[in-house]
Amino acid sequence: MIHSLTDYVRFNNGTEIPGLGLGVFQIPDEDTAEVVKKGIINGYRLIDTAQIYGNEVGTGIGIKEGLAATGLSREELFITSKVWNNHLTYDETINAFEETLERLALDYLDLYLIHWPGKNAYKEAWKALEDLYAAGKIKAIGVSNFEIHHLEDLLSFAKVVPVVNQVELHPKLTQQALRDFCEEHEIKVQAWSPLMQGKILTEPVVKETAEKHQKTPAQIVLRWDIQQDILLVVKSVHEQRMQSNADIFDFELAPAEMARLSNLNEALRSGPDPDVFDF
């Protein structure tokens, strides 16, 4: 379990990732640079973007400005992006990666993910990621939104085991079976939309627990993740909320409180279902 914003977790290939990061989903490109810069200034070391977000240029500018403002080196940041794998060929995946690097104005990525599995549309893309990894252009490779059967298929031919599976995960969608499978295969789980786009924050159990600990509902839910060793990517465009989302290391939820939050599970998604979503 991490104990601060700058604590790292080790992947199965030895690479280390900050346990809590800043996501830039749905932030317009022209606003992203300032958000990323503020995130870095406020202690975030993991920045998570994607090809489909349309804000890799702004993310790259924000990284450059954040480094200049803090005096940090590029190596002290962890940058993730994702390929929008709409049935890409091997060569198309390589090209997509090179375009991502160019937009970000970076020499390498720390982590590159296949964004969605589609209808078993990831075999050539994964081979491309493995070769980019072998060439040293990516420190680690992984997947996003893969279900157990996708992972079983991937592992049947992959030469490199993915380091992470980034999935929708929150108390309404606890993904326990998937998490157990990933743990068995040394694949870390990282939550996107951990606050369920804000919908989880009005749950009575969440609000009651927040009042008891004198914390915000968001801090309670993020703490629930942290205590289960779930990696986090949290989006915020407001500096005060960035700070609040990181203020989750000075209290602990009791086992009974953790169980009450987990019992909210309804297998309820706020995003697409990976088994039917095919771009």
Q: Summarize pLDDT for 187-197 with one digit per residue, the tens.
A: 999 999 999 99
Does the 13-198+229-236 domain belong in CATH 3.30.70.260?
no
What mean pLDDT value characterizes the chain?
97
Tell me the per-residue pLDDT of 97-129, one tens digit each, with 9 for 90 and over: 999 999 999 999 999 999 999 998 999 999 999
Tell me what the mean pLDDT of segment 172-201 comes to.
97
Domain extents in the chain: 13-198+229-236
| pLDDT 10s digits, 229-258 | 999 999 999 999 999 999 999 999 999 999
Q: Which of 188, 165, 175, 233 is nearest to 9 (CA)?
A: 188
Here the tokens at position 14 are 């030895």
Q: Predicted confidence band at 33 (pLDDT cuts at 50, 70, 90)?
A: very high
CA distance 181 to 152: 9
The percentage of the chain sitting over the pLDDT mark of 90, rounded to a whole number, equals: 97
pLDDT of residue 117: 97
- Report pLDDT for 278: 86
* Active-site amino acid positions: 53
Q: Has this prediction a pTM greater than 0.85?
A: yes
Reply yes or no on whether the pLDDT at 279 is more than 90.
no
Choose among 180, 207, 179, 213: nearest CA to 264.
207
CB–CB of 80/112 below 8 Å? Answer: yes
Distances (CA, A) of 101 to 36, 80, 217: 17, 11, 37
The number of beta carbons lying within 10 Å of the beta carbon of residue 155 is 12
Would the pLDDT of 165 be above 90?
Answer: yes
Mean pLDDT across the stretch 152-177? 98
The pLDDT assigned to 201 comes to: 97
At residue 144, the pLDDT reads: 98
